[in-house]
Structure 1
Amino acid sequence: MKYIIDKQVALTRPLEGPLAAHIASFSRSISNQGYSACSMNRQVQIAAGFSRWLKQSGIELGSVCSDHAVRYFRYRARHVRLARGDRAALRHLLDFLEHEGLIAGQKIPERRPTPVERHVRAYEEYLRDARALARVTIINYLPFIRDFLKTCFGDGRVRVSRLRAVDVVRFVQQQASRLRPKRAKLMTTALRSFLRYARYRGNITLDLAAAVPTVANWSMSSIPRSIPTEQIRQLLASIDRRSATGRRDYAILLLLARLGLRAGEVAFLELDDIDWSAGQLSVHGKSGQRSALPLPADVGKAIAEYLRHGRPLSPCRRVFLRSRAPIAGFRGSIAVSSVVRRCIQRAGISSPTTGAHQFRHALATEMLRHGASLGEIGELLGHHHPDTTTIYAKVDIKALRKLAVPWPGGVQ
């Protein structure tokens, strides 16, 4: 006899145990997340088996915790062979029960922080609350400060008052030799920030920030690496737009190529950001700033094709969603860069890089060659400072040749 759950999953035994009344809701939840029928069937079977084991063990619903999941798999391994994905299925079940308020949240006991970590956390709190720095800036600073304190004090007590200029110089010399110029410059910026913070707190009286050596990083020392226009055409033509994933990837690449958006701006684009009647996009740029950009006809058509014939049903308001379960929006810019990398590899194109930023450089370069001013380019790309855009002047070789001073005595 078969027992049907939510008209989708068939079990050979009736549901029993403290989870029996909630397994149908769990089945609907994972179905809404886009899992296949096979995966959904497996997850419901694991949930039903776990519920029976809870009943046999005399465990009430409100007492269920992650430790019971570990014990259940030990029990299950003695009777059947564990399949790949079984542990993930039970983790999904626990997350569902916690989200529904049926079990208490699983608290992981915090390890006691080391002396270095305590100082790093205090500095992090200062950057966040007192300085109101962007989260990405804080994330970039902290590893350098953690390494600095660990180099100076090891695992022992941190006595910032004992720091001297020689400690600062030695650390910078050691680290700068193994870092790229831009990364080394970021390190010295973070170090100056921390030492000013230490002086502000009264931990040191000397201005050790002034002792941080300057790392050479000449402005505009290289030309932006951009994907050639012909390769962009080849890449777009290689995408199979008959599939849902292909329609999504094509729309993403068009946004990068036509509007020069950053990967993160594409990842966090929402349905409400598109004004179809006005033909505009509202883009979430750096530092939370929003800017309105024109929506080219081909880009709008590609997005519309994906929304109508490719985007999975989901309550998520993000424009672009994962193609695999759980169906949700991209977590960040890395996902968009991964889409670009896969498309480039699939097309067999040897581009300068495999990241998304090369399309931004390509658009700026093409605009410059067609007579656009640096100001117009900076406005489209959302640059806050004119200096950010001036690097593209190096790309216009013809214009630069006009400025070249003749060599004394002629060409040798």
Structure 2
Amino acid sequence: MEQELTGFLEMLRYEKAFSEHTLVAYANDVRDFLAFARGKAWNVRDIKYSHIHEYMTVLGKEYQPTTIARKQAALRSFYRYLVKKGVVTFNPFTLVKTPKKPSYLPKVFTVEEVMELLSSLPEETPQQRRNKCLLLLMYGGGLRISEVAGLRLGDIHFATGTLTIVGKRKKVREIPIGRVAMDCLKKYLPYRREISPFAGKSDAVFLTRSGKAITSRMVRYVFSQVISAMALERQLSPHALRHSFATHLLQNGASLRAIQEMLGHSSLSTTQIYTHLSVERLRSLYEQYHPHAK
């Protein structure tokens, strides 16, 4: 099946525009199942519900529902590909239900915490200017880590105060980022050559010393260094800046549809999570200030 798996991954990469991170996860998910099937002497071209049930039972002892759901999605997609190629006649993973994912509310910064974080960032070195600018963009435009890491010089439009963002599945959107973030970009760009002597050979906005585009891992590292200095009582990821962007917009009267467009969500249902965040905030305020709350 290795040849079929290679073709499957190429299809996801070039036709579906899956990210490298997702491709690696899907490849591992499929290989894990194929290895399990070999250990059981199953014919992977004739997988039945009983086989899948046994495999899912094993996964249930090791993984959370969210991970199991992704593994099922990978295998369902892989067998759909095999059906299309005539390798198998039926997709057995259509017989199993996806485990219910636990509902959760994303963690967000308060407005005060975001202001504290961004105002505390130093600007003494070119690298520090870079780091402050990329975090400002993540909050100012609700950008994903991969989106800020992949930003190119041609994506910046100073005249309109907007950025062109290439998001998931290569979906392109244009977003406003505000005066503060745009001013930070203007101040930062002349320092690219001080960060790397190879800056002229790259059109990446945020560079490493070698002249290559900053990686998502480096963005996470920058964020972790900044957040550790704040000594917050709860753990927050870089994605919390994106969640905070959407939550603060909603709290100040922006429509869900507008937020959906700025975040690049394909479905409004994905954006609706932020309405629950607002309800939780209202409940908290009610319990804190209303005399009948307790």
**Deviation of residue 239 (structure 1)?**
1.5
| Pair 1:151 & 2:36 matched | yes
CA distances 1:273-308 after superposition (whole Å, capped 9, x unpaired): 112222221111222122222242211111121112
SS at match of 2:253: coil
Contact 1:257 1:359 in 2 (8 A): yes
TM-score (norm 1): 0.61
Structure 1's unaligned 5+ residue stretches are 1-115, 402-410
Name the structure 1 match of 2:52.
168
Contact 2:4 2:82 in 1 (8 A): no
| Pair 1:234 & 2:120 matched | no
Contact 1:160 1:198 in 2 (8 A): no
Task: Determine the C-alpha separation between the residues in 2 that align with 1:124 and 1:245.
Answer: 36
**Deviation of residue 125 (structure 1)?**
4.3
Name the Cα RMSD after superposition: 2.8
Instruction: Give the counterpart of 1:373 among 240, 243, 255.
Output: 255
Instruction: Give the counterpart of 1:335 among 218, 236, 257.
Output: 218
Contact 2:37 2:44 in 1 (8 A): no
| Pair 1:141 & 2:141 matched | no
SS at match of 2:249: helix
Structure 2's unaligned 5+ residue stretches are 284-292
Contact 1:394 1:400 in 2 (8 A): no
Which structure has more relative contact order (CA 8 Å, sep 6+)? It is 2
SS at match of 2:100: coil
**Deviation of residue 399 (structure 1)?**
9.2
CA distances 1:202-258 after superposition (whole Å, capped 9, x unpaired): 44445522333431225xx11111122222122122221122121111111111111
Over 3 Å counting, the alpha-carbon distance change for 1:126 and 1:256 in structure 2 is: closer
**Residue pairs, 1:313-328, within 5 angstroms:** 313=197, 314=199, 315-322=201-208, 324=209, 326-328=210-212
Contact 1:248 1:311 in 2 (8 A): no
Over 3 Å counting, the alpha-carbon distance change for 1:124 and 1:275 in structure 2 is: closer
- Whose radius of gyration is greater, 1 or 2? 1
Task: Determine the C-alpha separation between the residues in 2 that align with 1:159 and 1:394.
Answer: 46
Over 3 Å counting, the alpha-carbon distance change for 1:303 and 1:311 in structure 2 is: farther
Contact 1:198 1:204 in 2 (8 A): yes
Name the structure 1 match of 2:289.
none
Contact 1:191 1:209 in 2 (8 A): yes
**Residue pairs, 1:55-94, within 5 angstroms:** none
Name the structure 2 match of 1:37.
none
Name the structure 2 match of 1:211.
95
Task: Determine the C-alpha separation between the residues in 2 that align with 1:292 and 1:189.
Answer: 30
Task: Determine the C-alpha separation between the residues in 2 that align with 1:295 and 1:197.
Answer: 40
Percent sequence identity over aligned pairs: 30
Letter in 1 for 2:55: F
